[in-house]
Amino acid sequence: MLDLGCGAGIPLTKALADTFDVTGLDISARQIELARRNVPNARFINADIVTHDLPPQSFDAAVASYSLFHIPRAEHEGLFRKLTSWLRPGGLFLANFGIADSEVDYEEDWLGAPMIWSSFDEDRTLTALKKAGFEFLIDRIETEVEDAKSRRWLFILGRR
């Protein structure tokens, strides 16, 4: 299983690694350092998801939990195609996406680091994922309350 944007590895990567052979990938060297300590039974790669290459058909599944909207949306279609190539036929992809049609919203200090937020609307994201070769088992909008604010996310479970 591939965890895209694994961060410090907790709680998701750790939970996945209890059952699956997990590789976590994150752009932050500090987060990867923490992940290696937090989840010693997983492998980690410090790299940019957009530019990093992995061997074709090397994963049965991938997850991207609250990570892909930190990548400029102009990079999404190419990333989705790469992700499709990394999954074996029938491989699963579980992810969530922002649904605001926002090219790039830059927050200078988010948890001590600069952060971007970028997303297409629901239809454009689903279209790009379909074009990359995913069929949807689940695609729905969910609302979560965080810091007393309602936030809406597109959750998908796709199959290659």
For 46-95, the pLDDT digits (tens) are 999 999 999 999 999 999 999 999 999 999 999 999 999 999 999 999 99
- Quick one: average pLDDT of 18-27? 96
Q: What does the alpha-carbon distance between residue 141 and residue 72 come to, in Å, rounded to a whole number?
A: 21
- Quick one: average pLDDT of 132-146? 95
Q: Residue 111: its pLDDT value, please? A: 58
Helices (H) and strands (E) in the chain, counts: 4, 9
Please compute Rg for the chain using Cα positions: 15
| Class in CATH terms, 53-159 | alpha beta
Q: What does the alpha-carbon distance between residue 8 and residue 32 come to, in Å, rounded to a whole number?
A: 6
115: amino acid identity, one letter:
M
The SS3 call for residue 44 is strand
Residue 112 has pLDDT above 70, yes or no: no
Of residues 149 and 55, more confidently modeled: 55
Q: What does the alpha-carbon distance between residue 122 and residue 120 come to, in Å, rounded to a whole number?
A: 7
For 81-94, the pLDDT digits (tens) are 999 999 999 999 99
Q: What are phi and psi of 145, to 5 degrees?
A: -105, 125
Tokens of 14: 């750790």
Q: Where are the domains of the chain?
A: 1-47, 53-159
Residue 120 has pLDDT above 80, yes or no: yes
Mean pLDDT over the full length of the chain: 93
Q: 112 Cβ partners below 8 Å, 6+ apart?
A: none
Confidence of residue 117 (pLDDT cuts 50, 70, 90): confident
Residue that has been written with the tokens 């629901």 in this structure: 122
Tell me if 34 sits within 8 A of 54, measured CB to CB: no
Q: What does the alpha-carbon distance between residue 25 and residue 2 come to, in Å, rounded to a whole number?
A: 7
The SS3 call for residue 69 is helix
Residue 142 has pLDDT above 70, yes or no: yes
Tell me if 44 sits within 8 A of 23, measured CB to CB: yes
Element (H, E) at 154: strand 149-159
